[in-house]
C-alpha cells in the first residue's frame, strides 16, 4: 500500500483509504476532525473497542446497525441494557457478536451515565497532546505510532475508572479518529 494515494477526484489521501468509497468519505469528512460530546465519544470508544482485532472498514460498514441496536449510543439507554439485551445482541448478524465486547460496552455506558454532563468529553480531551508543528507531520506510515505516552495515560486512567476494551492501541486509534491528534500524512489534502 502506498503511503499516499491519488483518488479518482485527483486529491491525495492517506494510503489506508485505498479505493473504497466509504473509506474515502470517512477520511475526508470524519477522521481527524475534532469530535466532542459525551454521546459521540462514548460511541467512538465503543466502536473502537469492537474494532480490536478487526479492520476499521468492517466496523464502519456495520456502524448504522450498531447505532440502531445500541440505542444511538445514548449512555443512559445502553446502561439500562440487561441480560435479554445481551442475548438479543448476540444473535444480531449486523454487528460484531462478541459477548465480552458487548458486556464491556454496557458496563462502560453505566460508568458514563454516572458522570456529570460533559465530564467524559473533558476527561478524554484532557489527554490530547499539544498540536504538532507542521514540520513534525508524519511523512509516511512508518512515522505514525501505534501507541503514545498520551494514549498510554488515557488507557490507564480509563481502566482505573473501570472501563474495559480501552487499551493503549485502541485509545490511540480513538485519538486519531476523534481529532485529538492529526495523523494525516504530509501531502494529504486533509493535512492541516
Q: Residues 174-189, buried b or exposed e (16+ Cβ, 10 A)? A: bbbbbbbbbbbbbebb
Confirm whether 87 is a catalytic residue: no
Confirm whether 48 is a catalytic residue: yes
Q: Which of 26, 30, 74, 125 is catalytic?
A: 26
- CA 14, distance to chain mean position in Å, is 17
Q: Which of 30, 56, 74, 125 is catalytic?
A: 56
The three grid cell numbers given for residue 148, joined into one nine-digit string: 503514545
Q: Residues 109-121, buried b or exposed e (16+ Cβ, 10 A)? A: bebbbebeeeebb
Q: Which of 16, 31, 43, 48 is catalytic?
A: 48
Confirm whether 26 is a catalytic residue: yes
CB 120 within 8 A of CB 112: yes
Active-site amino acid positions: 26, 48, 56
Amino acid at each position: 500500500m502506498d503511503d499516499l494515494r491519488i483518488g479518482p477526484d485527483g486529491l491525495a489521501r492517506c494510503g489506508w483509504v485505498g479505493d473504497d468509497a466509504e473509506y474515502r468519505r470517512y477520511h475526508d469528512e470524519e477522521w481527524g476532525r475534532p469530535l466532542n460530546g459525551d454521546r459521540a465519544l462514548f460511541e467512538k470508544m465503543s466502536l473502537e473497542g469492537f474494532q480490536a482485532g478487526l479492520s476499521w472498514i468492517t466496523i464502519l460498514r456495520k456502524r448504522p446497525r450498531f447505532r440502531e441496536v445500541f440505542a444511538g449510543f445514548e449512555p443512559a439507554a445502553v446502561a439500562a441494557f440487561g441480560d435479554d439485551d445481551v442475548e438479543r445482541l448476540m444473535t444480531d448478524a449486523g454487528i460484531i457478536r462478541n459477548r465480552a465486547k458487548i458486556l464491556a460496552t454496557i458496563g462502560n455506558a453505566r460508568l458514563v451515565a454516572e458522570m456529570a454532563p460533559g465530564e467524559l468529553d473533558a476527561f478524554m480531551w484532557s489527554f490530547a497532546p499539544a498540536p504538532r508543528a507542521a514540520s513534525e507531520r508524519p511523512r509516511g506510515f512508518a512515522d505514525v505510532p501505534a501507541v503514545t505516552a498520551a494514549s498510554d495515560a488515557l488507557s490507564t486512567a480509563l481502566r482505573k475508572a473501570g472501563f474495559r476494551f480501552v487499551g493503549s492501541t485502541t485509545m490511540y486509534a480513538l485519538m486519531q479518529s476523534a481529532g485529538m491528534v492529526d495523523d494525516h500524512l504530509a501531502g494529504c489534502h486533509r493535512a492541516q
